[in-house]
Amino acid sequence: MSPVDTAAGWKSAANVPVALHEPLARLLLSLADNKRLLGMRYSEWILGAPTLEAGIACSAMAQDEWGHGRILYAMLKDFDRDPGQLEHERGSDEYLSSELLDTAPGEWPVLLALNALLDTALSVQCQALSESRYTPLHYKMGKLLDEERFHFEHARGWTGRLADTDAGRAALAETYRAALAPCLRWFGRSDGELWTALTEEGVIDGDPDAQRERWIERVGPLLDEVAIKRPSPAGADLDWDGWDEARRRTGSGGPDADTLARVRGDKNRSMLMD
Amino acid sequence: MGRLSGEKLYEIFARQKREDRFEHIGTVQAPSASLARVYAWQTYDEANWFEMIVAPRDAFEPVNRDESPFTLHPSEVA
């Protein structure tokens, strides 16, 4: 995609063709929900990470993701969605989050799979929005991607470190292998309506197969380190059984009850007085 | 938290403006220079740094002492 012509771009939802409102709002909500939940997963390792520095890194990455989530929820106001309702009042089955985020990562290699594979998938998609014709996205993605650079470096450093031992390599291979298909599917069906319209109109750069290819190029060296064969980027090669295109996930579940209460801030909000 | 095997101490230097001199702002321990970069950036984020650099502590040569405390991990200093 050539650099965005901001003068000709869509400065607000009012300039966006009506037919694109729903797919674009859904894309923003999907990114926001995944970032909000991913931030929570990082935060669960602030204490208990293998080293003090890794705990601090988790804290920084959690704050980054929450910040990105907050920005994306706020952008939905432009599409007549209420960010407060979206952040605090939805049920589990209304979250557009990856199934990988439904439960807390109980082991460090599980968190590293989220860090290396899912976080990178989100970044690849954000990169594909950085020259978006919807200019509010174009303006937000630069700083966000700057911060994400260090998330990937964290994943790369820890992958290399654990891959140095047989036990570490085996543990990572198991969790990376489990996260592979959900991440590949997350980019969507090659012929999905959501993507076809957004790609053709210049909202996003590249169809799902193209984005999968970029993701594989990025995470490929990490997969190599744990001896996982690089997958095909073709959506046609994936198993779509049970896939929910609207929520970009497999299965009808969602964040578990504990996750939902915390991510919505239920306990703290119950103490607020109007 | 003690050091894990294979971890090194890295010294961190940063400056807020191009015309500033680098100041020593702290240390991190890490198993590689790449993770040291990540930890340094994410830990010492109190300023909007123009430039930050890291170097392993054992890369520094003592000048006026044969056995400088600076070359030792704090846990190794009596």
State the complex-level ipTM.
0.80
> Is A85 strand, coil or helix?
helix
Residue B58's pLDDT is 87
- What is the pLDDT at residue B69? 59
B7 touches chain A (CB under 8 A): yes
Q: Does A58 touch chain B (CB under 8 A)?
A: no
Extents of the domains making up chain B: 8-76
What pLDDT, on the 0 to 100 scale, is given for residue A273?
61
CATH among 1.10.10.10, 3.40.50.2000, 3.40.50.300, 3.10.20.520 for B8-76: 3.10.20.520
Work out whether strand A249-250 and strand A243-244 pair parallel, antiparallel, or are unpaired.
antiparallel
Q: Which of A46, A53, A146, A159 to mutate to test the interface with B (most CBs of B within 10 A)?
A: A53
Give the model's pLDDT for residue A158: 97
pLDDT tens-digit profile, chain B (78 residues): 345 668 899 999 999 999 999 999 999 999 999 999 999 999 999 899 999 999 999 898 888 877 665 655 556 554
A213-230: pLDDT as tens digits: 999 999 999 999 999 999
Instruction: Give per-residue pLDDT as tens, A27-73.
Output: 999 999 999 999 999 999 999 999 999 999 999 999 999 999 999 99
- Nearest-neighbour CA in chain A from B34: distance (Å): 6
Half-sphere exposure of A8 (CA within 13 A, CB side): 7
Q: Which domains does chain A have, with CATH numbers?
A: 16-269 (1.20.1260.10)
Contacts with B12 from chain A: Cβ below 8 Å: none
Query: Given CB atoms, is A221 within the 8 Å cutoff of chain B?
Result: no
**Coil, helix or strand for A253?**
coil
3-state helix, strand, coil in chain B (%, to 5): 25, 30, 45
Is the full-model pTM beyond 0.95? no
